[in-house]
Structure 1
Amino acid sequence: MSSSSHSPSRQQAPARSWLSRFAIKVIVVCVGLGACGALLMTLALALAWPNLPDLHAMTDYRPRIPLRVYTADNVLIGEFGEERRNVLRFDEIPDVMKSAILAAEDDRFYQHGGIDWTGVIRAAIANLVHMSKTQGASTITMQVARNFYLSSEKTYTRKFYELLLTFKIEATLSKDQILDLYMNQIFLGHRAYGFAAASRTYFGKPLSEITPAEAAMLAGIPKAPSRFNPISNFDRAKARQGYVLGRMRALGYLTEAEYQAAVKQPIVVKSAAGTPTGRYAVHGEYPAELARQLLYGVYQDDIYSRGFNIYTTINSKDQEAGYDAVRAGVLDYTRRAPFPGPEGSVDLPAGIESKTEDFNTLLDDLQDKYPDSGDLLTAVVLSASPTDVKVARSATQIVDINDKRALKVIARALTSKAKEPTRLERGSVVYIHQMDGYWEIINKPTVQAALVSLRTQDGAIETMVGGFDFEEGKFNRVTQAWRQPGSSFKPFIYASALERGLTPATQVSDEPFSLTAEQTGSKAWNPKNYGNAYEPVLTMRQGLYKSKNMVSIRILQAVGPKYAQDYVTRFGFDRARQPAVLPMALGAGSVTPLQLAGGYAVFANGGYRVPPYLIDHVTDSSGKVIMRARPTVAGDTLARVIDPRTVYVMDDMLRGVATYGTGARAHRELGRNDVGGKTGTTNDSQDAWFAGFTPKLVAVAWMGFDQPKSLGQGETGGGAALPIWVGFMRTALKGQPETPPGPMPSGLKKVDGDYYFDEYPPGTAIARVGLPAPGDPGPGAQPGNTPDGIGNLLNQLQGNATPQKPNGNPPGGAVAHPVRVPF
C-alpha cells in the first residue's frame, strides 16, 4: 500500500521541477529585459535631458513686439513678427475665461503632473472604437512645451522631447504660471496670440468684459484655430461653443441658470478700433508687404522684434476703394468669359447633408483645398438643374442659385449636353458670390488686375492693389510686372513731338504703314489700327483721341526714335526697356503700373518728375521718429523735366481723350471736366490699360494674365481697365471740387482753336507728316528713316507683351528691375 501511495508523488516531481526551471528562466529574461529597458531609458534620459531648452523664456517672459504698418490716417494694415498679442497677468484674466479653458482643454490640469494618464486611456479607447483619431490627450502643459520650444512635426523623437520638457516645466513652474503662459501664448487664429488679443479680434472688447458665452467660444478655438474661430466659420465655432458650455456646466463652473443664459446669448462678431477683423479693416496687404521689404533692407531681421511702426502714405478710404474696384473689374471680366466649369468635384454620398458632423467635416476638408478668396466662398453643389442650383456652405447654410442673371452665366454647364469638366452636378465644388439681392456661381478668376494712385504734387502712393488676391501669392503687379503699355504710352511720344515742332493741328497720314524685310533687316512689319479701320488723314489731336497706330508711328518717325528714347527717360522710364525703334510708338517696350503712374504725374503737376514713395516716417517702440521721407515736390525747379508749354498742351489733349476719345467713359461717368487720360491695348488684347489723372491725383489700372495671353476678342483698355479706374476714382474724387486749367504759359499761343509754341508759329511748325507735298505722290514710309535694329526688336517682340512670371522675372534671362520706391 505504501509503495503504491507514493508513486504519484514520484511521477509529478519531474514535472514540477521542469515548470519551476521554466518559470525561473522567464523571470530572469523579463528581469533582464526590464533592466536593459531601464538602462536604455536611463541612457536616453541622460542624453536628452541636458539638451532640453532652458526655461528662461518662460520664467522671464518678454514677448517680442512686432513690426506694425499703418496708413497715413493711422489705420493698421499689417503686422510682421513673432505674434500679435496683449499680455495680461494671471490675476487680470477673468475666472470665467480660466474655467472655460480648463473645461475645453484640460479639466484635470490641477490634479495631474503634466500628463493626464486617465485622459490618455480614455482617448485610446475612443480612438480604438472609432478606428480613427477622434480624441487627443494633450494637456495644457504639453501644449505650452510645444508652443514655446518645439515644432509641430509628428515624429517619435519630437514627442519624446515634448514629454521630457513637460516634466521639466511641471518641476520648475507652478500650475498658475503654466496656465498664465498658455493663456498669453496660444495661437487663436487671424494672427491673434493669447486670449486677450483674441477677445479684441473677435468681440471688440477687453478680456475683462468677456461673458461666459464669449469665453466658451474663445476656449473652443485652440482645437483648430483656422476652423473654429467665429470669423472663418461661425457655425463650427458655435457648435464648439456649445460643447464647451456643456462641459462648464458638468464640471460645476456654471449653474444651470448661467448655462441657459449663455446658450441663449447672441454672439456678435466685431473688431475693436484699429484691430483687424479677420485680416484687417482695410485691404492693404500689398503696400504693407512692400513697406516691410523696404524697411527690411535697412534693419534686416531686427524689424520683427523691436516694435517699429511704419506710417505709409496710403489713404485708407482710397485703398479700400481700389481693392473693391479691382475685385469688381476682375469679376466682371470673369462673367463675360465662358464659364469653364466647377473648380473640382467630391464624392457626395446620398443623404450625407443630413449627417451634420460628417458633412461639416467634408466641407472643412474642401476649405483646405479650395480656400475662400475674400467674398468668393467655397461651396459644394447638392443638386443642379437649368432653373435652380442648390449649394451648401455648411450643413446649416444652404443657398439657392435661381436668379436668371446668375443662371445665364453658368447656363452652358446646366444643359443636358454639358460634359465633364464643364458640367455642374451633385458634388461639384464651386465658388459663390453674393450680388445685390441674389447669389451667383462664378469660377475663381485666373485673370489679374492692378491699380495704383499717386499724389501728383509729391509722388506719395495713396493706393496700391497688386492683384486680385494677396493670399494667392505676394507678387505685386504694381511694382514687379513689366508689361507692354500699348497705346497708354503714346502721350509721351506726342509730348516729344510738340518739342520738335509738331502741333495738335499737324496733319498726319493714317493710311496703312509697312516695312519690307529689306527695310527692317529681318522680316516685314505690317502694324495695324484697331479694327483695321483707316482714314486718309487726321490731325495729331484726332490721332490721339482715336488712338490711331498709323498716326503714332509716323509721328515717331518724324521725331526720330533716338530722340524719343532720350525724351521718355525724363518721365522715369528705363532707356533699356524702351528701344529706339518705331514699335516704341505703339508701346512695345515695357513698364510697370507704378512707373506709368509716375510718368503721367508729370503731365498732371505742371512738368515735374516726383519719384513715387510709400513710407512717410518710421517710429521705434517708444514713438520716436527714426526715419522720415523727404520727397521731391512739384514746383522745385530742379525737378522740372519738360517744358510747361508741353504740359499745358498735353493736359488739354488728354482731357479731350477722356471727354471725346477712347476714354470718354471717364468724363461720362464721373461728370468732371478736369480728368485726362489714355487707354492702352496691346496686340491681341494681352494687356489692357487706363492711365488717368486730375491735377491732384493720378491713377493707373491694368488687366491681363500673368503669363500673357489674349483677354479675348473685343477686350480693350476702355472696356477692361477703364471701369476699374472709374470705379476707384468715383470714391477717390468724391467731394473734391473740379480744378480748372491753369493760366497759359508764356511762349504759347492759341491760333484758330489750337496751340503753337512761339518758336513754331503757323507757317513754321510742321504742318504735315507722312503726307506728300502738293503735287508729290510720295510714299508713306521712307526707308531712310527706318531705325537700325528694328528687325531684332521685331524678332523679340513680334507685337506681343513681354511674358511675366509671378516671381517677377520674365523668361529668357531678363530679370525684372528691383523695386525702387524711396522712403
Structure 2
Amino acid sequence: LDQLSVAECAMIASTFQLPSVVNPINNPKRGLMRRNWVLGQMLANRYITQAEYQQAIAEPNNAFPHEPPIEVDAPYLAEMVRLQALDRLGNDALTEGYVIKTTVQSARQQSAVDAMRAGLIDYDRRHGWRGPEDHQELAENAGNEDFDRILSSYTDIAGLRPGVVTGVGASDATVYLSTREQVQLGQDAVAWAKPYVNETRVGAPPRNVAAVLKRGDIIRVARNAKGEWELAQIPKVQGALASVNPEDGSLQALVGGFNFLRSKFNRAVMAARQPGSSFKPYIYSAAFERGFTPASIVNDAPLALPDPSRPDGLWTPSNDDDKFDGPIRLREALVKSKNLVSVRLLDAIGVRYARDYVTRFGFSPDALPPNLSMALGTASVSPMGMARGYAVFANGGYLVTPYFISEIDDRDGKPVYVANPARACRTCQERLLDTRPPGPPSSSAAPANPVAAAGTPAAAATTGGAVLPADAHEGNHPPTLAPQVIDVRNDFLVTSLMKDVIRRGTGAAAMALGRDDLAGKTGSTNEHRDAWFVGFNGDLSTAVWVGFDDFGSLGRGEFGAKAALPIWMDYMGAALKDRPSSTLSMPPGITTVQIDRSSGLPSEPGNPNAMPEMFKVEDVDRLRQQATQQQEDPDQQHAYDIF
C-alpha cells in the first residue's frame, strides 16, 4: 500500500460503488471520472492539500491487469481441476497457495482448441450468415463515444472481435471495433455470407457488401490466414474433444465447447450423446469373441423387425446411403459402415452378451440400450468415455482410467498428493507374470463415469489413485496394473479393421496426415444430430464430437467424416508431429491365410479370387472344414449368412 500514489488509492476506492461500470481497465473513461470525483471529496474533507489534489488529477490512468498471463487456453480443464482440488483439499485449496500440476501438455491443448474452433467455424460458414448479433439506430453525428457505449457490453469471443458498422457503400463497409480501431470490409470479406435458410439450405451468394451489412449492425470480425479482416459470426454449433494417453489414461487435451465464456457446460465429460457408428468396433470385438472373424460373411440387406412402439409395428433400420451390398465380409462392412450388418451381427451374438461385453470398455450398463438399436450406436456416452473405450484398442486390451491431476504441492513445494494411475504396462515384468485371462473389470476399476466427468466431488476417487506421502514413489515399487479386459488378439483384429477405415473407408481423409499407425471410426446418428470421429495410435486416443445442444440436426450430408474428422485430423496432426509410428505389433496366435473374397473361407492354391486375411490360429482349422463342406454342398450356409 505504501507504494501506491494518492491517485491510485482514489482509483481503487472509486471502484467499490459500481465495480463493473467504473472498472479502470474495462471502462477507463468512467473510471477516471469517478477517481477525480473521489479526489475532489478528499480535498473538500481535507484529506489532501490543493497541491496534492492537482498532482493527483494530472496523473494518468495506469491501471493494468496484474494476474499471471494465461499461457494456455484450457478453462474447461481449469474448472475440472478446481472442483477436484476442493474435494481433495477442502476450502484450503483456495487460500493456502497450493500448486496443482496437470497431465495436459500445453502445446497439445492449444492445438486442440485451435482445431475445434476452426472446425466449428468452418461448419458454421457452410450453413450461411444468420445476420448481425444486434442492430442500433445510429444518429447522423454519432462518434466514437457512442460506438464505445454500444460495444461496452460485447467482449472478444475466441478471437472474434465485436464491432459496429458505421458506414456501408457498394463495395465496402467501415466497422468500428471495441479496440478503437476502424477496419474496412470489402466484397471478399463477406463472400462466404450466403443467407442462412435452414441447416440444409443457404441462399445465393451476396451481390455486394450492402446486401449483407447495414449501418448500425453489431457484428464480429476476425483475421483470416492472410492476416486480412473478414466478416465472422459466433457459431451456434458446439463440439468437444477429449484426448488421453492409452498407457495410463493421463489427459492430454480437453475442449468442452466453442468458448467457456459463452457456455460453461463441459461437453467433453458431461454430455450424454449417441455415438452412432463409432460404437460399432465394440460390437465387432464382442463378435470376435464369439467365433466371428474379419472374413465372416453377413448379409447387408433390408431388414424389418417387430417393434410395438412404432406406428406400423416394425423397426426398419437402413444404411446411411440407403444402398445394400448383399453378403459382405465383416472387414468390408466396418470399412463401409454398414448398419444392417451390425444389427444382424448383434442379433447373432445376443444383445445380453454384447451388452455385458461392452461394459469391459468402461461403460455403465445403464448407458447401453437393451435392444438391437445398440448396434447403431444409440448408447449415451461422452467424448471422454469414447476416448477411454478406444484407448483399450490402442494399448493392447487394458482399461485405463482417465485422470488429469498429476501432483499437488503446498506453498513450500512439498508434494501433498501424487497420482498413481493404473497402467497398461504391456512389457512390465509384473504384467508378464500375470496369467489371469482377460475379463470384465471389477466395479472399482470401471467407474460408470471416470472423471465424473470431473464435475462432481465423487470424481476425485476415480481419477488416479493418491500416493501419500509422495516419497512412496522412491525405490523399486511395482506399478499398478490396469485390468486386461479383452484379448490382445481380439484387439489386434479390431484395430486392423479400423486401420482400413482410414486407409480406404469413411475416414480416408486422415490419410493426408501421412501416417501408417492411425485407426479410427466415423459416427453419425439419425437426422445428423451427432457427428463423431474417434481414433488412435499407440500414443493418443482422441474422440471428437460435433452437434447442437438442443439435439437439432446438423444438416444433410454432415456426417462424422465431414463435421468431426477434420477437427480430429488438425489436432492429431499437430500432436503427433515428428513422433515416430506407434502401433501394436502382431501378437502370437495370429496368422495370415489366403481366403476367397466371395465366401470369406480359406482358399485353394491358385484361386484368382484369393486375398490375405488375418485370423486367430484356432479359427483356421474350423474355417478350412467349412470350406471343404461348402465345396461338397454349395447350398449349405450358416443361418447368419442368409438371415
**How far apart are the structure 2 equivalents of 1:598 and 1:327?**
23
**How far apart are the structure 2 equivalents of 1:268 and 1:101?**
8
**How far apart are the structure 1 equivalents of 2:308 and 2:578?**
58
Equivalent of 1:651, from 479, 483, 495? Answer: 495
Equivalent of 1:751, from 590, 593, 601? Answer: 593
8 Å CA contact retained: 1:699, 1:725: yes
Q: Which runs of 5+ in 1 are unaligned?
A: 1-88, 106-138, 147-151, 154-186, 190-221, 230-235, 784-823
TM-score under structure 2 length normalisation: 0.77
Relative to structure 1, is the Cα distance of residues 729 and 416 closer, same or farther in structure 2, using a 3 angstrom cutoff?
Answer: closer
Indicate the larger mover: 287-296 or 709-718: 287-296
8 Å CA contact retained: 1:512, 1:550: yes
Equivalent of 1:227, from 18, 23, 26? Answer: 26
SS in 2 for 1:629: strand
Match of 1:642? 486
Q: CA deviation at 1:406?
A: 3.1
* Partner AA of 1:739 in structure 2: S
* Partner AA of 2:593 in structure 1: V
Equivalent of 1:323, from 85, 90, 113? Answer: 113
**How far apart are the structure 2 equivalents of 1:481 and 1:239?**
45
The answer to whether 1:681 aligns with 2:521 is: no
Match of 1:160? none
8 Å CA contact retained: 2:394, 2:537: yes
Relative to structure 1, is the Cα distance of residues 251 and 697 closer, same or farther in structure 2, using a 3 angstrom cutoff?
Answer: same
Q: Which runs of 5+ in 2 are unaligned?
A: 41-49, 196-202, 426-430, 435-481, 595-611
Q: Deviations over 1:100-119 (max 9, x none)?
A: 526x74xxxxxxxxxxxxxx
8 Å CA contact retained: 2:164, 2:217: yes
The answer to whether 1:501 aligns with 2:318 is: no
The answer to whether 1:528 aligns with 2:318 is: yes
**How far apart are the structure 1 equivalents of 2:328 and 2:260?**
45
* Partner AA of 2:536 in structure 1: F
Q: CA deviation at 1:252?
A: 6.7
Q: CA deviation at 1:594?
A: 0.4
Match of 1:401? 185
Higher relative contact order (CA 8 A, sep 6+): 2
**How far apart are the structure 2 equivalents of 1:584 and 1:705?**
22
Q: Deviations over 1:313-341 (max 9, x none)?
A: 11111111111111111100110012111
Match of 2:598? none
Over aligned residues, Cα RMSD in angstroms? 3.7
Q: What percentage of residue pairs aligned between the two structures are identical?
A: 36
Match of 1:350? 140
SS in 2 for 1:725: helix
The answer to whether 1:426 aligns with 2:215 is: yes
Aligned positions, number:
549
8 Å CA contact retained: 1:502, 1:767: no
Q: Deviations over 1:161-180 (max 9, x none)?
A: xxxxxxxxxxxxxxxxxxxx
Q: Deviations over 1:386-420 (max 9, x none)?
A: 6323221159411111142632325669969999x
8 Å CA contact retained: 2:388, 2:402: yes
8 Å CA contact retained: 1:467, 1:476: yes
Q: Deviations over 1:309-368 (max 9, x none)?
A: 221111111111111111111100110012111111112111313xx333322332xxx1
Aligned runs of 1:367-516 on 2, under 5 Å?
368=153, 370-384=154-168, 387-394=171-178, 396-404=180-188, 406-410=190-194, 424-436=213-225, 437-516=227-306
**How far apart are the structure 2 equivalents of 1:666 and 1:613?**
28
8 Å CA contact retained: 2:161, 2:178: no
Q: Deviations over 1:429-482 (max 9, x none)?
A: 111121123222222211100111101100000111100011123210011000
Relative to structure 1, is the Cα distance of residues 766 and 617 closer, same or farther in structure 2, using a 3 angstrom cutoff?
Answer: farther
**How far apart are the structure 1 equivalents of 2:278 and 2:562?**
14
The answer to whether 1:589 aligns with 2:371 is: no
Relative to structure 1, is the Cα distance of residues 347 and 416 closer, same or farther in structure 2, using a 3 angstrom cutoff?
Answer: farther
**How far apart are the structure 2 equivalents of 1:395 and 1:629?**
44
- Normalized per residue, which structure has more helix? 1
Aligned runs of 1:235-254 on 2, under 5 Å?
253=55
Equivalent of 1:554, from 344, 349, 352? Answer: 344
TM-score under structure 1 length normalisation: 0.61
Relative to structure 1, is the Cα distance of residues 695 and 268 closer, same or farther in structure 2, using a 3 angstrom cutoff?
Answer: farther
8 Å CA contact retained: 1:513, 1:780: no
Match of 1:289? 79
**How far apart are the structure 2 equivalents of 1:414 and 1:390?**
21
The answer to whether 1:715 aligns with 2:574 is: no
**How far apart are the structure 2 equivalents of 1:308 and 1:782?**
65
Match of 1:575? 365
* Partner AA of 1:227 in structure 2: N
Relative to structure 1, is the Cα distance of residues 528 and 315 closer, same or farther in structure 2, using a 3 angstrom cutoff?
Answer: same
The answer to whether 1:761 aligns with 2:560 is: no
Match of 2:5? 98
Q: Deviations over 1:15-42 (max 9, x none)?
A: xxxxxxxxxxxxxxxxxxxxxxxxxxxx
SS in 1 for 2:294: strand
The answer to whether 1:623 aligns with 2:419 is: no
8 Å CA contact retained: 2:194, 2:206: no
